[in-house]
Amino acid sequence: MYTAIIIVTTLLLAVYAVLILQYRSWFLRLRPFEPAPVPGAPTRFSIIIPARNEEGQIGNCLASIFGQSYPGTHFEVIIVNDHSTDRTEAVVKAWQAQHANLCLINMADHVEPNALNSYKKKALELAIATSSGEWVVTTDADCQAKPGWLSLLDAYIRQYQPVFVAAPVMFTTKGNFLDTFQLLDFISLQGITAAAVSAGFHTMCNGANLAYRKDVFYAVDGFKGIDGLASGDDMFLMHKIKQLYPNRMGYLFAQGAIMATAPMADWRSFINQRIRWASKADAYQDRGIFRTLALVYALNACLFLWLVGSLFFTGGWVPWLIFIAIKTLVELSFMIPVSKFYGHLPAMYWFLPMQPFHIAYTVVAGWLGKFGSYQWKGRKVQ
């Protein structure tokens, strides 16, 4: 059994190394977006922010949005208060007194507190139905945008005429172990997202920094067919739009467009977040994504079993460490250029020491995402 694990791990690592080096090649081909003068009126945006118990974060989010260099006459902000039990509603109303283009929707007026499995999709649907912009922009209540965010998005839309635009997201960090662990994990996800776009595949995106035409949302029947899934308001919608408009998908690769968001505050929240992400893995219609996720999980599961087996077989530690070294070097060749783009190169010093923790977390989160349940925003989700 132990020998079989070593053989399988060797084969998986070889395939994985080729894949990561391919991602590196794709990422290095990307060039940051440079706006070009395009005649015409600025795009009108409807920025939609679902919020549940975000009184401590939403003020900073709104400050970053209303601090945009973009004309306030060409965007509106719609907050959907998802049954918050804190002062989220009061904070938003205080901002409403200062900004006429800020709208508040209370989900409690439309949906009972325990009636759905995906409240975020319902929040987006409610907001889109009342929106006046030609483009819908989604972000989260704990995010903060750079001042030129909307201007870059407008320039990209007018220059390339897409119907869907994904853009980069990155965690902030206080430098502690948990923040750094999440940062490294998220850098890899964002790097793969960008690399896949460079290769011509739109396989991943993040709802914290997403834009799509309102008419296109309705052209693909919105979240119909995916509204029963607790997660996936971003990627599953992207795949629906991609099927109808395969040549009009965009990715705004620009440092000024990076949306900053805070990592999870504790390990429990972090694991629940990753279980939520992992829970949608087998629902992807794009089998390429599923195969990649399966490869990553299988490799980490084998390394984990090998590590456990090393406790009972003399000398098992040495080859395991060699494999970890090879895996780390291959991943760093990809992670270093990605972390440079996001301004987090110093975090790479922690990459090797965190490998054992990352292997264990991948195995646990992947397993529970398939067979377990999780708590999210105070709700238990199956």
- Whether 126 and 162 map to the same domain: the answer is yes
HSE, side-chain direction, 13 A CA sphere, residue 368: 17
> In terms of pLDDT, which residue wins out, 205 or 287?
205
> In terms of pLDDT, which residue wins out, 14 or 287?
14
Joined tokens for residue 369: 């995402």
> In terms of pLDDT, which residue wins out, 25 or 6?
25
Q: Is the pTM higher than 0.85? A: yes
**pLDDT tens by residue, 9-49:** 999 999 999 999 999 999 999 999 999 988 888 999 999 99
pLDDT band at 288 (very low <50, low <70, confident <90, very high): low
Cα gap 133→41, rounded to integer Å: 13
96 burial level (CB within 10 Å; 0-12, 13-18, 19+) = middle
- Whether 56 and 109 map to the same domain: the answer is yes
**CB contact set of 165 (below 8 Å; sequence gap of 6+):** 153, 156, 157, 210, 211, 212, 250, 251, 252
- Whether 111 and 250 map to the same domain: the answer is yes
Q: b/e string for 312-324 if b means 16 or more Cβ within 10 A?
A: eeeebeeebeebb
In a domain, 186, yes or no: no
**pLDDT tens by residue, 154-164:** 999 999 999 99
Look up the domain containing 105 and give its range. 33-168+209-263
- Whether 229 and 311 map to the same domain: the answer is no
Under DSSP, the state recorded for 228 is T
> In terms of pLDDT, which residue wins out, 93 or 3?
93
Task: Please check the confidence at residue 352 and state whether its pLDDT lies above 80.
Answer: yes
Task: Please check the confidence at residue 318 and state whether its pLDDT lies above 90.
Answer: no
How many folded domains does the chain comprise?
Answer: 2
In a domain, 135, yes or no: yes
- Whether 53 and 134 map to the same domain: the answer is yes
Report pLDDT for 282: 57
In a domain, 195, yes or no: no
> In terms of pLDDT, which residue wins out, 311 or 40?
40
**pLDDT tens by residue, 172-194:** 999 899 999 999 999 999 999 99
- Give the angle subtended at the CA of 288 by the CAs of 283 and 290, to the nearest 5°: 40
**CB contact set of 49 (below 8 Å; sequence gap of 6+):** 58, 61, 77, 78, 79, 80, 138, 139, 140, 141
Average pLDDT, the chain: 89
- Whether 258 and 351 map to the same domain: the answer is no
Task: Please check the confidence at residue 58 and state whether its pLDDT lies above 90.
Answer: yes
**pLDDT tens by residue, 101-154:** 999 999 999 987 776 667 889 999 999 999 999 999 999 999 999 999 999 999
Q: What percent of the chain has pLDDT over 70?
A: 89
Cα gap 122→140, rounded to integer Å: 15
Report pLDDT for 143: 97
**pLDDT tens by residue, 289-307:** 778 888 999 999 999 888 8
